[in-house]
Amino acid sequence: MNSLSILFTLPLLIIFSYLFDAFARKTKFPSVILLMFTGILVRIATTIYGYDSFSFLDNLIPVLGTIGLILIVLEGAVELKINREKLPIILKGFLAALIILTANIFGLQWLFSLFFGMDSQSAFLYAIPLSIISSAVAIPSAVGLLNQDRDFIVYESTFSDILGIVIFNYALRQVDSKQSFIDGSSIASLGLQIIGVIIISLVITYILFRLLNQIEHHVKFFLILALLILIYAIGKLFHLPALLTIFIFGVFLSNVKTLLPNFLHRYLDLEQTEKGLHEFHILTAESTFIVRTFFFLFFGFSIQIMNFTSITPIISGALIVSIMLIIRYAYFTIIRLKIKPNSLTYISPRGLISILLFIQLKDVSLINTENSPIDERVLLVVILSSMLIMLLGTLKKQPEQTHTNSEEESLLEISSDIQNSQEYHSKNT
């Protein structure tokens, strides 16, 4: 492919991604499905014309996925508003993410060991990527929900991303050291590491804030992003939960006035920081859009539809999705004491993080990924099925949500009319 063809192809792909995103906002249909299908169709077309050697994707997809992961967590953290009123919903989101994630991991481990004949260690590692909710898909899909439910999805999916990656890195470290997953000293060491990373993250966050205030060069936000990616790479090298640093920086960036101690306020120009927040948020959102576009396009491109010669991956994916739904339904039934499922039950999509962690399993020497019954075909079925279930579930509940929102708006209008009337009478009096 010559340079002119590339100059035609890249802009068209970005334009298509933008149109897919606009279509998703109108219809609630996940745009990543359209991106993956576009990649699959392009792969079919290139195969027909004799182009079938794309080994560069093996290195490109993990890099794009890692950068996308950092940007998605950062963007999600910037969206979080921390105050006393939101503490209950934050706690609910964290507990839901922890309990549902843990239940999914052990539930899928049981499924893989019993029905697929996998050893306990491999079953546990394969279960983690398939148990993590994709915040990149869940958060945009929750736009039509009530404010409280929408906030819950934001917190739950964000915490699910972080907890899932922490558990996955912990499991890989245990495999490398040939220790059991449930080990008291290893869990205590992980806890101390997390505390240490949080303390270091606070120091790094303060340094980055000072950089934001003191750098006068017109290009500074990409410098901050580069430093965050470097910090993540260093943490990855030492098997540390460096994603917490990204999350903490994003949370402090959007809640600097409420979270930053008072004695540090005099060292920072808070007005300048808030002004930079808006620009940084735009940059993060635009960068996330570009990286996510090419990640899912290339992931779809890496899938060869001719490999689906058996119905086994579809059956395996259906079993995995069934366990995911049963666990999620059981959790919300117990918490809400209602048998009828609500919209939150269906919003449990898998996406970028599942793909990224799944790819990392190929580097684990103790796991034979080539002969594993859980392969890329099963992963694709799980991702597409979870997104379609989310779509059908949210569309089913949409009229109810719209009706409730209209009732809230009517109440607000009535309240406003009463207040205006009272002000009018007080002035006349």
pLDDT tens per residue across span 128-138: 999 999 887 88
Range 56-300+311-422: architecture per CATH: Up-down Bundle (1.20)
Please state which of the ranges 142-146, 188-192, 371-375 shows the lowest mean pLDDT.
142-146
Residue 397: band (very low, low, confident or very high) from pLDDT cuts 50, 70, 90: low
Distance set, CA 130 to CA 43, 317, 376, 379 (Å): 25, 10, 12, 8
Q: The tokens of 72 are what? A: 């998605």
pTM over 0.95: no
Is pLDDT above 80 for 419? no
Closest CA to 150 of 415, 368, 377, 347: 347
Mean pLDDT along residues 142-167: 83
Closest CA to 230 of 239, 244, 242, 213: 242
Is pLDDT above 80 for 386? yes
Please state which of the ranges 240-244, 245-249, 302-306, 417-421 shows the lowest mean pLDDT.
417-421
Quote the pLDDT of residue 186: 74
Q: Residues 345, 394: contact at Cβ < 8 Å?
A: no
Residue 95: band (very low, low, confident or very high) from pLDDT cuts 50, 70, 90: very high
Quote the pLDDT of residue 215: 72
Mean pLDDT along residues 217-225: 76
- Average pLDDT in the chain: 78
Quote the pLDDT of residue 406: 44
Q: Which long-range contacts (CB under 8 A, 24 or more apart) does 17-20 make?
A: 17/289, 17/293, 17/297
Is pLDDT above 80 for 162? yes
> Identity (one letter) of the amino acid at 206?
Y
Q: The tokens of 354 are what? A: 């599942």
pLDDT tens per residue across span 244-296: 888 888 887 777 777 766 656 666 665 666 666 777 777 888 888 888 888 88
Quote the pLDDT of residue 267: 60
Radius of gyration in angstroms for the set of CA atoms belonging to the chain, rounded to a whole number: 23
Helices (H), 238-269: 243-254, 256-259, 262-265
Is pLDDT above 50 for 427? no
Residue 106: band (very low, low, confident or very high) from pLDDT cuts 50, 70, 90: very high
Is pLDDT above 90 for 330? yes
What are the structural domain ranges in the chain? 56-300+311-422
Quote the pLDDT of residue 2: 62
Q: The tokens of 153 are what? A: 């999805």
Mean pLDDT along residues 58-68: 80
Is pLDDT above 60 for 23? yes
Percent of the chain with pLDDT over 70: 83
Residue 399: band (very low, low, confident or very high) from pLDDT cuts 50, 70, 90: very low
How many CB atoms neighbour CB 299 within 10 A?
A: 27
Residue 321: band (very low, low, confident or very high) from pLDDT cuts 50, 70, 90: very high
Distance set, CA 221 to CA 213, 278, 284, 367 (Å): 11, 11, 9, 40
How many CB atoms neighbour CB 391 within 10 A?
A: 20
Is pLDDT above 60 for 145? yes
Q: How far is residue 251's CA from residue 268's CA, in Å, rounded to a whole number?
A: 17
Q: Which helix (H) or strand (E) holds 355?
A: helix 352-360
Angle in degrees, CA 399, 400, 405, rounded to 5: 95
* DSSP code of residue 49: T
Quote the pLDDT of residue 271: 63
Q: The tokens of 344 are what? A: 């939150």
Decide which of 347 and 146 is more confident.
347
| Cα-Cα end-to-end distance for the chain | 80
Residue 426: band (very low, low, confident or very high) from pLDDT cuts 50, 70, 90: very low
Q: What is the DSSP string of 285-323?
A: HHHHHHHHHHHHHHHHHH--GGG---SHHHHHHHHHHHH
